[in-house]
Each structure stands twice: as C-alpha cells, then as structure tokens.
Amino acid sequence: MPAKSISKKKSQQSATVPPISPNPNALSFSLKEAAAVTGVALRAIRSAIWGRKLPAHVIGKRQIVLRADLEKWVAATPTAHGRAA
C-alpha cells in the first residue's frame, strides 16, 4: 500500500510544474529556455557553455544566454551530414 501513495505523490508533483514556454522574441534566455527554444537537451547547452562554444552571462545567480549568441551557436553546429549550416 505505501508504494501506491509514493507514486501518487510523484505524479502530483510533476503535474504541478508548468511547462517552459519561452518567448521566442526575447533578447536572452535562461539555460532551460535556451534548450526548449533550440530543441536540444539542457546538458548540450551546459556542455557548450563549459566548452566555451556558447557564451553565457551571469546576472545575480542566474546564467543567461543572449539570443544572438544562441543563434550563432546553432548555425555553427554541424548538420547531420557533418558540415556547419
């Protein structure tokens, strides 16, 4: 019986988290928003920042990515055929 109540609580918690729907016209994005806008994993965004391929700015405790930098990074990413777009 306790296992059912635990799984029920987990499903209720995940249902209360609103989906990320960033404004595609924004000048900057949080890392989660940048991942949502580009359709890549958050891990890929963080990896690009750590590898200095995608610049990030720190405002307070938040990291943001400028829209122009995100567009450049996506354009420079190799396509499925191995060439940058």
**Residue of 85, 52, 55 lying closest to 70 (CA atoms):** 55
Interval 44-75: pLDDT, tens: 999 999 999 999 999 999 999 999 999 999 99
Q: Where are the domains of the chain?
A: 20-85
pLDDT higher at 41 or 10: 41
pLDDT higher at 81 or 1: 81
Distance CA 51, CA 11 (A): 36
Tell me the H-state helices in the chain.
2-16, 31-38, 42-50, 67-76
The architecture CATH gives domain 20-85: Orthogonal Bundle (1.10)
- Mean pLDDT, the chain, whole residue set: 81
